[in-house]
């Protein structure tokens, strides 16, 4: 089909098709991870990010291209997971900015918006690296502009973008030595090629879905949808004395919506206030005894798209009796078992949110002072919305976020733009660094002093990991076979072998230095306590001057996390 204009519905179909293309190919993208470790999740992150965008797009069907682009931008921002997901959300954000106020656009407008999206993504990355998703997207945008300037159709513009993106993707190993050594193209770049391919398929009529199944758009089983955060908890009698009864959620559309003013006024009639979005679309949450007053307040500024009001006392009582609870008032009647808890009054100067996978590690982090522990990291990166929910639940005006994984840092940075709290992201790249930061925390000192403590602590710890190879690969000392045991030190493969204990011992030998005094082993779900204690005894014998500690981490996929201080 030769479209000469793009309206809101066509843009929706394009994003839906991109989602479906990523869904079908996410495992291929995951397999392009530079290291052959089992946590290559670039494809999954991009798929979950665009799935969240589609959920928001479905809510404004029939709107203008500007409204649709803003919905896609908001959804992708709230659902952004991992570095690739955050970069994709920034491309959507810049695209939406270029669409502001437009009913429909022409192919040249589309190409300009794509370029604006790429420019926005580059600005969002502190140190852009060429040979990545950014490079592929920039190439696609430039090609789209070149074709569009000749006065042509959207199909031809997208064909030019896809062709250029594919060509640049093939050359990414020449730009990044680490890709060349691994024998793969950039995973994020490949994911973006699939996004553009989905766009093109929709325009060509190959993937035109009238009504995608919303139930299939969410995260994998066991994870929450990347939407407005909900608070989950164990039901006990202790929370029955709820100060504000009604949990009220709204979606407000308008022009120049005053988010700060709405947030302030809602704070006067309730608590647990959350107002996020942009000047044309806001997601609003508040606990109040006067939901009608909250709705009237919002209606002064815009049009109410949907709302949900839940009686938390009734829900609590019903949950105690193990009964399903229907929402008291809703703009779209559904059943729910989620219960929101009023945020506690601010009692301390700062709080901490930490990200980790594994019940043992989560318990350790809680014991060391983490106010909220968000499940995720190596196997499932949390979304910006999940991190935002955790930040909002912390009873403090300043909240430190410990990502504990290099692929979570960018998503954590996005939370700063979604809350009125002072969010400070400590760039912990491993669980071990996160634990070191928590140990360094001192509640008696100011947030600024603790920030310095955290920074110093992560510089003074060595971080190692032991896992396995999911595919064959090359490394500087030879070949890696699928199933080999890998020892990583600060993100680099330094040991390859066939036995977990032997690889861990060799890794420790490399990590221990003259000034080392403490060696800690955090064993995963595939290691027994007896195996871990036996290894610790061997290491204690080899290094009698070290204090060797063993902890049950319970993390998936990684046999051991190793800390040397």
Output the CA torsion sign for 392, 394, 397, 403: negative
pLDDT band at residue 111 under the 50/70/90 scheme: very high
How large is the average pLDDT for residues 423-429? Answer: 95
Handedness of CA 228, 233, 239, 240 (dihedral sign): positive
In the chain, where the domains are located: 8-212, 243-336, 350-459, 463-564
Q: How confident is the model at residue 253 (pLDDT cuts 50, 70, 90)?
A: confident
Handedness of CA 157, 159, 165, 171 (dihedral sign): negative
pLDDT of residue 249: 72
Q: Span 8-212: which CATH code?
A: 1.25.40.340
Task: Convert the pLDDT of each residue in 435-492 to its tens digit.
Answer: 999 989 988 899 999 999 999 999 889 999 999 998 888 887 888 999 999 999 988 8
Judge contact between 177 and 184, C-beta under 8 A: no
Q: Which residues contact 492 (CB under 8 A, 6 or more apart)?
A: none
**pLDDT (tens digit, 9 = 90+) per residue, 516-552?**
999 999 999 999 999 999 999 999 999 999 999 999 9
Select the CATH number that applies to the domain covering 243-336 from these four: 3.30.70, 1.20.81, 2.60.120, 3.30.450. 3.30.70
Nearest residue to 11 (alpha-carbon basis) of 51, 86, 65: 65
CB atoms within 10 A of CB 420: 16
Would you state the pLDDT for residue 180?
86
- In terms of pLDDT, which residue wins out, 229 or 274? 274
Per-residue confidence at 225, pLDDT binned at 50, 70, 90?
very low
The predicted-structure confidence for 344-374, as pLDDT tens digits, reads as follows: 444 678 999 999 988 899 999 998 899 999 9
Contacts of 513 (CB under 8 A, 6+ apart): 564
pLDDT at 20 over 60: yes
Residue 296: CB partners within 8 Å, gap ≥ 6?
none
Our CA dihedral for 209, 214, 217, 223, rounded to 10 degrees, sits at: -170
With cut-offs at 50, 70 and 90, classify the pLDDT of residue 274: low
Please give the CATH superfamily to which domain 350-459 belongs: Phosphotransferase system, mannose-type IIA component (3.40.50.510)
> Would residue 60 be called left, alpha or beta, if left means φ above 0 and alpha means ψ between -120 and 50 degrees?
alpha
Phi, psi of 6 (to 5 degrees): -125, 125
Nearest to 61 by CA among 51, 47, 50, 72: 72
Tell me: the pLDDT tens digits for 389-407? 999 999 999 999 999 998 8
């Amino acid at each position: 089909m030769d479209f000469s204009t793009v309206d809101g519905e066509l843009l929706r179909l394009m994003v839906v098709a991109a989602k479906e293309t990523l869904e079908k190919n996410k495992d291929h993208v995951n397999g392009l991870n530079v290291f052959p470790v089992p946590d290559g999740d670039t494809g999954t992150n991009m798929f979950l990010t665009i799935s969240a965008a589609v959920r928001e797009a479905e809510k404004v069907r029939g709107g203008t291209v500007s409204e649709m682009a803003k919905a896609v931008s908001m959804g992708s921002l709230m659902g952004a997971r991992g570095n690739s997901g955050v970069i994709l959300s920034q491309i959507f954000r810049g695209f939406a900015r270029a669409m502001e106020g437009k009913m429909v656009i022409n192919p040249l407008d589309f190409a300009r918006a794509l370029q604006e999206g790429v420019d926005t993504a580059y600005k969002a990355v502190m140190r852009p690296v060429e040979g990545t998703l950014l490079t592929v997207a920039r190439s696609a945008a430039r090609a789209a502009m070149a074709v569009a300037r000749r006065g042509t159709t959207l199909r031809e513009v997208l064909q030019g973008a896809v062709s250029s993106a594919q060509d640049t993707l093939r050359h990414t190993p020449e730009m990044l030595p680490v890709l060349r050594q691994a024998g793969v193209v950039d995973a994020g770049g490949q994911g973006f090629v699939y996004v553009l391919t989905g766009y093109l398929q929709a325009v060509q009529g190959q993937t035109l879905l009238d009504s995608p199944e919303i139930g299939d758009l969410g995260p994998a089983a066991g994870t929450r949808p990347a939407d407005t955060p909900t608070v989950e908890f164990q039901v006990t009698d202790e929370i029955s004395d709820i100060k504000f009864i009604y949990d009220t959620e709204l979606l407000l559309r308008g022009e120049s919506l005053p988010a700060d003013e709405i947030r302030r006024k809602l704070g006067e009639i309730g608590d647990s206030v959350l107002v996020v979005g942009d000047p044309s679309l806001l997601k609003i949450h508040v606990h109040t005894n006067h939901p009608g007053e909250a709705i009237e307040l919002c209606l002064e500024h815009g049009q109410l798209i949907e709302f949900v009001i839940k009686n938390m006392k009734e829900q609590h009582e019903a949950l105690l009796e193990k009964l399903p609870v229907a929402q008291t008032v809703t703009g779209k009647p559904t059943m729910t078992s989620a219960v929101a808890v009023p945020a506690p009054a601010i009692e301390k100067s700062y709080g901490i949110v930490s990200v980790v996978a594994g019940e043992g590690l989560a318990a350790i982090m809680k014991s060391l002072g983490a106010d909220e522990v968000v499940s995720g990291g190596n196997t499932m990166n949390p979304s910006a919305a999940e991190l935002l929910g955790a930040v909002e639940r912390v009873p403090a005006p300043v909240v430190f976020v410990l990502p504990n994984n290099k692929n979570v840092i960018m998503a954590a940075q996005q939370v700063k733009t979604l809350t009125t709290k002072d969010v400070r992201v400590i760039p912990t790249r491993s669980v071990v660094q996160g634990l070191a930061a928590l140990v360094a925390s001192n509640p008696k000192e100011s947030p600024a002093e603790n920030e310095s403590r955290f920074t110093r602590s992560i510089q003074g710890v060595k971080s190692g990991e032991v896992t396995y190879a999911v595919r064959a690969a090359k490394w500087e000392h030879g070949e890696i076979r699928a199933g080999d045991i890998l020892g990583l030190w600060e993100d680099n493969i330094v040991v390859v072998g066939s036995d977990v204990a032997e690889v861990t011992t060799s890794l420790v030998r490399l990590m221990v230095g003259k000034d080392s005094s403490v060696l800690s082993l955090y064993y995963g779900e595939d290691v027994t306590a007896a195996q871990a204690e036996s290894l610790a005894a061997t290491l204690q014998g080899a290094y009698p001057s070290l204090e060797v500690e063993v902890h049950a981490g319970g993390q998936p996929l990684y046999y051991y996390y190793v800390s040397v201080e």
